[in-house]
Structure 1
């Protein structure tokens, strides 16, 4: 089970995620987010845990040049696009993309096929006017349909240590992602909750992604 802890803003939280067995951490570069990090902070965090976890940069409608600069300066492993990025834009980065899509109805699942070049697709809750990070629980039944259709799916949206095992059992995704579900305040992680989340996520055997060893990019 691939587990990503997103919205990391502090070195100590990145280390706690790595120590607890996370596969990836997310560094948010969206200026309007409470969890946005500067280039300097991102580089410091990356240096502290490089080689222990995959480094994922989160962007929302950023220009190609801005993404490219952060990618090179931080030495990111994966790029997560959480806005209105087109399939053509995402394809410029090859198989290093996690494309986050917000789903509210079964018809929304048709978007997934357009991003076939992506490393995987993240399905998040749809909240009008908000690009993720809401803490709202996603539509697990719809996510399960995407998995059954053969999608390599990371489930996100309102996941916590208390509900992630049920989510994994219901959806059987490739991976899970959380941010606010393991926080004491926006951008401030609770280390005990990080460990509890990862343990709970891996408590359900999942043939889509139960073996942590082959989940790195």
Structure 2
């Protein structure tokens, strides 16, 4: 039976590492198109490297304050299925990209005083939210936030949980009961170096997360 908690592995950049991680069958693979990121795709990963990925794996392009024109160019070049917007993108831009038949994930950095009302204008224009830890960088800071901030989440948009997730969190995540929780986002804690993942540790994490049904309110994605 398919577990209800989906898995995204983000920050892919090297072709060999990509092939090894894809063989583990995560539900989503993320590719960062933000030049200031240490995991920036740049010239290191060709579009051809993505052509033979399993069709059931959704390819997500991560962008920070990029124009819709450039985003669409990367979507076409890399045959992406979804875009993750990790900056100050507006609800209008989310709507614009979603109209291009893309899944739209809008990321937000959570801290202790986060105002969930700021999400309301985005509700009608995003397929998913992604909640990360507030830090110096737009993402990939490797820090965990207090997940209990989400215990009263009541919006209809399901979300990805990100921010420093590691093997030590596997059991807790497997039994975590939070409204709207849809997927986990794995990145920096599973790296040998930026952009190069440790397939053995990722495999262990994926197997532990999938060994039992996770009690999430969301059960499928399109």
Q: 4+ residue stretches of structure 1 with deviation over 4 A?
A: none
Which residue of structure 1 aligns with residue 20 of structure 2? 16
Q: Which deviates the most, 26-35 or 9-18?
A: 9-18
Q: Is the 8 A contact 1:39 1:74 kept in 2?
A: no
Q: Is the 8 A contact 1:106 1:142 kept in 2?
A: no
Q: Is the 8 A contact 2:84 2:104 kept in 1?
A: yes
> Aligned-pair RMSD on alpha carbons?
2.1
Structure holding more helix per residue:
1
Shift of 1:105: 2.7
Match of 1:101 among 104, 108, 130: 108
Q: Are the structure 2 counterparts of residues 136 and 185 from structure 1 closer, same or farther at C-alpha, using a change threshold of 3 Å?
A: same
Which residue of structure 2 aligns with residue 200 of structure 1? 208
Q: Is the 8 A contact 2:132 2:145 kept in 1?
A: yes
Give secondary structure in 2 for the equivalent of 1:70: helix
Which residue of structure 2 aligns with residue 113 of structure 1? 120
Gaps of 5+ in 2: none
Q: Is the 8 A contact 2:177 2:215 kept in 1?
A: no
Q: TM-score, normalised by structure 1?
A: 0.88
Q: How far, CA to CA, are the matches of 1:157 and 1:6 in structure 2?
A: 11
For these two proteins, the number of residue pairs brought into alignment is 212
Q: How far, CA to CA, are the matches of 1:40 and 1:136 in structure 2?
A: 26
Q: TM-score, normalised by structure 2?
A: 0.86
Q: How far, CA to CA, are the matches of 1:111 and 1:177 in structure 2?
A: 22
Structure-to-structure mapping, 1:1-217, within 5 angstroms:
1-38=5-42, 41-94=45-98, 96-105=103-112, 107-116=114-123, 117-127=125-135, 129-146=136-153, 148-172=154-178, 173-208=181-216, 214-215=220-221, 217=222
